[in-house]
């Protein structure tokens, strides 16, 4: 196979990778960009298996990458969706406290929202909550009008379409798995299942495999990617009227997950979930998915066991819910007491790439690292999809300075 040359190569055609390629192409319209994707089509993993929510930025630590990029990224994303007719709806959401014990956490989230500049947020009484979501029970809530829903796979495809319109030499190359990385300070060669590719700059946006790709590039990390599967249920058609938009619980502050919630989907229907359980396969979307390599790597990493040791009770509760529809519905009943097991049916699942450090701490913020001529997006947890265009700006700045 011949050696193909491009001005830039982006590895990974998920939402962050395609956004980065798009921003690069806007900045350098005459330069050629290849986007290498190991799957036959885009959006098969995290990009196409998340809740499809446009996050507002209300939750995140002020001045963190998450807070800054989510706010900026949300504005850019909505503008892009409007300009290119990507299916979306800025419908708003409620964050619901169901007990007095949750009020201090809800109040703290509101204060973070104010510091983060989250537009239009306000408290709702139980009566005002009922006006927005008649089937939800809560003693206090936050209304977040800037949250919404969107088709993230559609966004990624639109990025690719626009790139090809700007420069016909740029292209998406699918079914192209990177097998070896040979890099110097000035260039890199990627040996792939579709031949060799050479470029002055490679940007790796490889999600669930970011640590493995970094290892191929001889980049030493102080963290390891561990997969957490999230299972979803869906309201049956006859029960879908019980949710108008987005309904979230007060989250457990010790975890980066937002709890089991109700999400009106952009293509119709209402999803409930996800839970968050350790998965024995990084791209395993069933409860019994298993990979010997993935399991071995995760369970021989000391940080995984330290994480389990800190949060084993939470982990057991999540696993019970994963295998019990009754327990899953019980979690939903906290906000919607009237929901029953007959109102829901099993839906899809996703796996979240979560970086864990050696001490067993979940790395909560985005992490971008430079090595030789390459850029590695090591950790891009939620709200990376919402923040994709702002993260892309950061990556392009690092890659071109």
| Residues 328 and 255 reside in one and the same domain | yes
| Residues 333 and 231 reside in one and the same domain | yes
What are the structure tokens assigned to 243, written together?
């949710």
Residue at a domain's end among 145, 180, 206: 145
CB 280 within 8 A of CB 295: yes
pLDDT beyond 90 at 258: no
Question: Can you give the residue range of the structural domain that contains 326?
Answer: 224-357
| Residues 236 and 352 reside in one and the same domain | yes
| Residues 269 and 165 reside in one and the same domain | no
What are the structure tokens assigned to 263, written together?
């999400």
pLDDT at 326: 93
| Residues 177 and 199 reside in one and the same domain | yes
The CATH number of the domain holding residue 199 is: 3.50.50.60
| Residues 178 and 41 reside in one and the same domain | yes
pLDDT at 255: 64
| Residues 301 and 217 reside in one and the same domain | no
Torsion of CA 270, 273, 279, 282, to 10 degrees: 40
Torsion of CA 236, 239, 244, 245, to 10 degrees: -30
| pLDDT greater at residue 131 or residue 256 | 131
pLDDT at 7: 97
What are the structure tokens assigned to 36, written together?
């290498």
CB 18 within 8 A of CB 158: no
Whether pTM exceeds 0.85: yes
Q: What is the mean pLDDT of residues 329-334?
A: 94
Say what percent of the chain tops pLDDT 70: 98
pLDDT beyond 60 at 1: no
What angle do the packed helices 388-399 and 65-83 form, to 10 degrees? 110
pLDDT at 257: 64
Average pLDDT, the chain: 94
Q: Give 170's Cβ-side CA count (13 Å radius).
A: 27
pLDDT at 3: 87
What angle do the packed helices 15-27 and 152-166 form, to 10 degrees? 30
Q: What is the mean pLDDT of residues 374-400?
A: 95
How many domains does one find in the chain? 3
Q: Which of 360, 353, 359 is nearest to 377 (CA)?
A: 353
Is the residue at 176 inside a domain? yes
> Cα(137)–Cα(300) distance, rounded to whole angstroms?
44
CA 327 to chain centre: 25
* Antiparallel, parallel or unpaired: β 3-5 and 195-199: parallel
Say what percent of the chain tops pLDDT 90: 87
Q: Which of 370, 373, 252, 269 is nearest to 318 (CA)?
A: 252
| Residues 252 and 185 reside in one and the same domain | no
> Which residues are CB-neighbours of 119 under 8 A, at least 6 positions away?
56, 145, 146
Is the residue at 64 inside a domain? no
Q: Which of 147, 210, 161 is nearest to 352 (CA)?
A: 210
pLDDT beyond 70 at 312: yes
The CATH number of the domain holding residue 348 is: 3.30.9.10
> Cα(249)–Cα(262) distance, rounded to whole angstroms?
9
pLDDT at 107: 97
Per-residue pLDDT tens digits for 85-105: 999 999 999 999 999 999 999
Per-residue pLDDT tens digits for 185-214: 899 999 999 999 999 999 999 999 999 999
Per-residue pLDDT tens digits for 154-185: 999 999 999 999 999 999 999 999 999 999 98
| Residues 172 and 43 reside in one and the same domain | yes
Is the residue at 301 inside a domain? yes
pLDDT beyond 80 at 334: yes
pLDDT beyond 90 at 259: no
| pLDDT greater at residue 252 or residue 240 | 240
| Residues 341 and 276 reside in one and the same domain | yes
pLDDT at 319: 80
């Amino acid at each position: 196979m011949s050696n193909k040359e491009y001005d830039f190569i982006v590895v990974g055609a998920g939402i962050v990778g395609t956004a980065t390629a798009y921003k690069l192409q806007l900045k350098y319209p005459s330069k050629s960009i290849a986007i290498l994707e190991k799957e036959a089509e885009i959006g098969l993993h995290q990009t196409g298996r998340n809740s499809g929510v446009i996050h507002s930025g209300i939750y995140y630590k002020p001045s963190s990458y998450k807070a800054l990029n989510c706010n900026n990224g949300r504005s850019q994303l909505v503008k892009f969706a409007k300009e290119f007719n990507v299916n979306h709806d800025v419908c708003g959401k409620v964050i619901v406290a169901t007990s007095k014990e949750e009020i201090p956490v809800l109040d703290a989230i509101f204060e973070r929202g104010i510091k983060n500049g989250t537009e239009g947020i306000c408290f709702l009484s139980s009566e005002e909550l009922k006006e927005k979501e008649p089937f939800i029970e809560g003693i206090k809530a936050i209304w977040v009008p800037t949250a919404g829903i969107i088709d993230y796979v559609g966004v990624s495809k639109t990025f690719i379409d626009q790139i090809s319109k700007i420069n016909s030499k740029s292209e998406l190359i699918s079914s192209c798995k990177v097998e070896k990385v040979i890099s110097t300070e000035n260039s890199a060669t990627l040996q792939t299942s579709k031949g060799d590719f050479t470029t002055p700059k490679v940007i790796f946006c490889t999600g669930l495999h970011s640590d493995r790709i970094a290892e191929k590039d001889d980049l030493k990390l102080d963290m390891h990617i561990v997969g957490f599967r999230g299972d979803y249920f869906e309201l049956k058609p006859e029960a879908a009227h019980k949710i108008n938009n987005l309904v979230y619980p007060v989250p457990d502050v010790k975890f980066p997950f937002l709890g089991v919630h109700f999400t009106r989907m952009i293509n119709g229907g209402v999803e409930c979930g996800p839970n968050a359980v350790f998965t024995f396969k990084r791209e395993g979307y069933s409860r019994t998915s298993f990979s010997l390599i993935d399991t071995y790597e995760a369970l021989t990493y000391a940080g995984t066991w330290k994480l389990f040791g800190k949060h084993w009770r939470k982990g057991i509760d999540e696993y019970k819910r994963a295998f019990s529809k009754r327990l899953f519905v019980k979690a939903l009943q906290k906000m919607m007491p009237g929901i029953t097991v007959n109102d829901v049916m099993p839906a899809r699942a996703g796996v979240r790439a979560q970086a864990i450090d050696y001490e067993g701490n979940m790395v909560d913020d985005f992490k971008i690292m430079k090595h030789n001529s390459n850029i590695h997006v090591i950790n891009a947890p939620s709200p990376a999809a919402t923040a994709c265009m702002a993260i892309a700006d950061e990556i392009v700045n690092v890659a071109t300075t």
